[in-house]
Chains A and B, each alone.
Chain A
Amino acid sequence: MKLYTFASPATFYHLAGKLIPWFAWSAGLLTLWGLYISFFLAPTDFQQSEAYRIIFIHVPAAWMSMFIYLVMAFWGAIGLAFNTRLSFMMARALAPTGAMFTFVALWTGALWGKPMWGAWWVWDARLTSELILLFLYVGIIALWAAIDDVKRGDRAGSLLTLIGAINVPIIYFSVIWWNTLHQGASISVTKAPSMAAIMLQGMLVMAVAAWFYTIAVALVRVRRIILERERHTEWAKAILEGDQ
């Protein structure tokens, strides 16, 4: 049995089915553990008091939003290079979760910004590039939604993801320079706060939880996509009729 056996949708469908409970339960347990650390073990910050605790959701969400985009670009590139159907399905399955995490990062950032900086939104480099990342996600999802033909949609979406991936660093740095020119020294969020070890631990646990959650959700979604696309095959028919 070779690794690429699982590149076949039929085999992967069953493998994904076996993996989902593991990832889902780990995600759930890790979230509980992470939340316990964040609310009960982590000390109150002497500057930001209790409000800083949103960091335990905000930072993992922001990490995931960028990481998922890179994973999508990776699957898109694999799909374009080797013409593997499953890679495109993975890219499609990941996009909604990536957009969700981007939105969560922006939303929690606004909630955090209000008590800390006194403003829901500032045109800070990180906020702005995260917003543009959300636009990229929305654009890719909209392109997929507009193209009915599966094959064309897969490829077009992957090409857009790739050119976006090339652009993301450029956008990020351009926004940083733009920001320093326009705003001067107003707010610095780029300075890493010296963080208590327990806070870092809580954040990492939450990040791993978010990571496992993403895998579980993406696998559930990719199973649906596989069934939808393979519905004309015997094995998919058997599953679909068995379910009903």
Chain B
Amino acid sequence: MHRFLLAVLRRDLTLAARRRGDWMIAQFFFVMVASLFPLGVGPEPDMLARIGPGVLWVAATLASLLSLSRLFADDHQDGSLEHMVLSPEPTVLLVLGKSIAHWLIYGIPVLLIAPVLGIQFNLSWDAILVLELSLLLGTPILSLLGGVGAALTLGLRGGGVLLTLLILPLYVPALIFGAGAVDGVMTGTGAEAHLSLLGAFMVLSLMISPWIAAAALRVSLE
């Protein structure tokens, strides 16, 4: 069973390694969205530190959506997705593997870039550390829930925009707990509560969303 999961992972990572441009776009998008905010609201360091956690979290959310619309689309186009769904291996594992691969390709680079952007936003080292922790717990949620959206909108006209409309409301708890954790450190109330809730939400998404995404995938391929 886990061999299938590993095979899906290896396949997606190999594909991503061969098409580097694709996933770099999401990361540049992340950097650009975050960099636009100081231009829009002004460069005062105090204010930037105040809005920084929220801005970085929103930017990470949007960047995940940008790459999620492609999660199943390429395999759907060349027909390999149908074969994988028709194979005797459980579709849940296929979806889970693809979500994990998405997180490795999109989430890890976000984790690497976020501290640099945190410095740009004048965040303290403590805040940056908690930001990293919150992104570490939170970005898997985005990949998991996003898998549901990607499966539901597979092959539709304007699927990318529709995906945004469907999934952003579901991201709200992740955004609140994630940005709240960093805020908690900065205002001195502590980040533990938010991080625990974020972790709980991550576990819940991990338990539920692969099943719903697998069901959605079967519906979309019928």
Q: Taking beta carbons and an 8 Å cutoff, which residues of A are in contact with B?
A: 80, 132, 135-136, 138-140, 142-143, 146-147, 151-152, 155-156, 159-160, 162-164, 166-167, 170-171, 174-175, 177-178, 181-182
Q: How far is the CA of A163 from the CA of B148 in the complex (A)?
A: 9
Residue of A132, A156, A182 most packed against chain B (CB within 10 A): A156
Contact between chains at A152 and B220 (CB < 8 Å): yes
Chain A residues closer than 8 Å to B180, beta-carbon distance:
177-178, 181
Contact between chains at A178 and B220 (CB < 8 Å): no
B143 on the interface (CB 8 Å rule)?
no
Q: How far is the CA of A163 from the CA of B197 in the complex (A)?
A: 19
User: Which residue on chain B has the smallest CB distance to residue A80?
Assistant: B215
B25 to chain A, nearest CB (A): 24
Q: What would be 25 A-B contacts, judged by CB atoms less than 8 Å apart?
A: A135-B168, A135-B169, A136-B169, A140-B166, A142-B162, A142-B165, A143-B152, A143-B162, A146-B162, A151-B222, A152-B220, A155-B216, A156-B216, A159-B212, A159-B216, A160-B148, A163-B148, A166-B208, A167-B169, A171-B169, A174-B172, A175-B176, A177-B176, A177-B197, A181-B180
Q: How far is the CA of A142 from the CA of B159 in the complex (A)?
A: 11
Contact between chains at B189 and A160 (CB < 8 Å): no
Contact between chains at B189 and A181 (CB < 8 Å): yes
Chain A residues closer than 8 Å to B212, beta-carbon distance:
159, 162-163
User: Which residue on chain B has the smallest CB distance to residue A142?
Assistant: B165
Contact between chains at A146 and B169 (CB < 8 Å): no
**Of residues 193 to 222 in B, which have CB atoms within 8 Å of A's CB atoms?**
197, 201, 204, 208-209, 212, 215-216, 219-220, 222
Contact between chains at B172 and A146 (CB < 8 Å): no
Contact between chains at B220 and A156 (CB < 8 Å): yes
Contact between chains at A132 and B165 (CB < 8 Å): no
* Contact mask for chain B residues 102-122; partner A; CB cutoff 8 A; 1 contact, 0 none: 000000000000000000000
Q: How far is the CA of A143 from the CA of B159 in the complex (A)?
A: 9
Contact between chains at B208 and A163 (CB < 8 Å): yes
Chain A residues closer than 8 Å to B145, beta-carbon distance:
163
Chain B residues closer than 8 Å to A178, beta-carbon distance:
176, 180
Chain B residues closer than 8 Å to A171, beta-carbon distance:
169, 172-173
Out of B153, B156, B173, B215, which one reaches A170, CB within 8 Å? B173
Main secondary structure on chain A at its contact with chain B? helix
**Of residues 162 to 183 in B, which have CB atoms within 8 Å of A's CB atoms?**
162, 165-166, 168-170, 172-173, 176-177, 180, 183
Chain B residues closer than 8 Å to A151, beta-carbon distance:
222
Chain B residues closer than 8 Å to A152, beta-carbon distance:
219-220, 222
B158 on the interface (CB 8 Å rule)?
yes
Known: A159-B219, A175-B176. 16 other contacts (CB 8 A): A135-B168, A139-B165, A139-B166, A142-B162, A159-B148, A159-B212, A159-B215, A162-B212, A164-B169, A167-B170, A167-B173, A170-B201, A170-B204, A175-B172, A178-B180, A181-B189
**Of residues 37 to 52 in B, which have CB atoms within 8 Å of A's CB atoms?**
none
Contact between chains at B184 and A181 (CB < 8 Å): yes
Out of A162, A166, A174, which one reaches B176, CB within 8 Å? A174
B210 to chain A, nearest CB (A): 12
User: Which residue on chain B has the smallest CB distance to residue A178?
Assistant: B176
Chain B residues closer than 8 Å to A174, beta-carbon distance:
172-173, 176-177, 197
Chain A residues closer than 8 Å to B173, beta-carbon distance:
167, 170-171, 174
Known: A142-B162, A146-B162, A178-B176. A156 touches B152 (CB 8 A): yes
User: Which residue on chain A has the smallest CB distance to residue B158?
Assistant: A146
Contact between chains at B169 and A132 (CB < 8 Å): yes
B149 to chain A, nearest CB (A): 8
Q: How far is the CA of A200 from the CA of B220 in the complex (A)?
A: 47
Q: How far is the CA of A132 from the CA of B156 in the complex (A)?
A: 24
